[in-house]
A and B are shown apart, each in its own frame.
Chain A
């Protein structure tokens, strides 16, 4: 019978939640790396026992941890992230030029094919690649050296590269997103990149339709249709049907189109999930009601999913990397909150129940479906 392993990164350590395919009884292990911020941990699709974790604190900087046994034991690997050549400058909050400085790894994306190949999205925004299981890292500097780099600027959470999507068909194609620069695509394995932000409209920047400068919060893709992308922008849910060459808004009837995560159902490429948040100055659900919204039409028409979720006095946030799906026949959907709850649905979002309620603030949730 299949099993599910949920990898949870929090402000004070990592937790691993496991269940059988029924997803009704869970065991909780952790904290791993207690006291450290775990921005993200993720398993290799090519070898589910191989996990990578981003471990950091403001005191002692960045570490990368690797497990070869599904998270039972870990070893620190390489933590040297050196920008290639002259780091250059980007815009600071006040519009002045600010030197690129490495702060932390926000996201780790293992290769679909090789467990020793893994990509890292970092702050200040850049993408790194390791081909030796995380021991050494090299920057894919064509991204940072894109001519628009000096115009990128940090969002409220820092200038982070937070999303990496690997095209399952075309190995040379990758998509990334940066707050606040926008989305970019490479078609040559990361050597060169171009912005893919046509159609985005951001009222809070001087030129609302600029080539770069958009605060993209998250991208999502169904592996069967890698040219169809969904985006949760600072405001607006967007959709592209041409690999990001153009976007259109599909916010439809959502109560708010501000939010952070966006996910696609494992078996229904037109079924998309978001969690509306009231506004960029009030990072909590509208009316104190925690509602996941599901569209079965690829956006535009959305239904509220509320069964099992708190419908009063709920003021948590759900961060951009804190939602994931499993690939069991009845797709499981998972998300973690800044209040320390991890909710799971074993029926595509119709009903929800907490796996745990009292973890530290959840930064990321990933799911592995195991044989």
Chain B
């Protein structure tokens, strides 16, 4: 199981506001994780990646194991601790004004 931490707004939107992380049975790549999120929580479709281009939204960032993985390829395997469920995959709303 891969553990994914969602930002507050998306937790609320998905109705999992109280959960520290959602657990997903999927391959350990960015694309697989987002596919699994959108499958399990259809209301999140388009909120993490642009539905037209498939690209990560500019103010969304991906972190795991102390690394910024935001600019890595979608299909690149994520670090082993993420794949084993020992470390969460963090989806972060970038700090920006407003």
Contact = CB atoms under 8 A, between A and B. Distances in A.
A36 B59 contact: no
A252 interface: no
Interface string B1-35: 00000010110010000000000000000000000
Contacts of B94: 59
B92 to A, nearest CB: 10
Contacts of B93: 59-60
Interface string B58-98: 01100000000000000000000000000000000110101
B57 A61 contact: yes
A87 to B, nearest CB: 9
Interface stretch (A45-53, A74-82, A276-284): A74-82
B46 A79 contact: yes
B37 interface: no
A57 interface: yes
A359 to B, nearest CB: 16
A59 B52 contact: no
A44 interface: no
Majority DSSP secondary structure for residues of B touching A: loop
B66 to A, nearest CB: 23
Given A82-B52, A102-B52, A61 B9 contact: no
Given A36-B9, A76-B13, A79-B46, A60 B52 contact: no
A270 B13 CA distance: 45
A182 B94 CA distance: 36
A76 B9 contact: no
Nearest to B97: A58
B8 to A, nearest CB: 8
Given A35-B9, A36-B9, A76-B13, A60 B48 contact: yes
A58 B59 contact: yes
B51 interface: yes
Contacts of A35: 9
A138 B9 CA distance: 27
Q: Which of A36, A76, A80 has the most CB of B within 10 A?
A: A76
A63 interface: yes
A63 B43 contact: yes
A75 B43 CA distance: 9
B9 A59 contact: yes
Interface in A14-60: 35-36, 57-60
B45 A79 contact: yes
Given A80-B51, A82-B52, A102-B52, A57 B9 contact: yes
Contacts of A80: 45-46, 51-52
Contacts of B7: 59
Interface of A: 11, 35-36, 57-63, 75-76, 79-80, 82, 102
The 6 A-B pairs with the shortest beta carbon distances in the complex, nearest first, are A60-B47, A76-B43, A59-B59, A59-B93, A79-B46, A80-B51
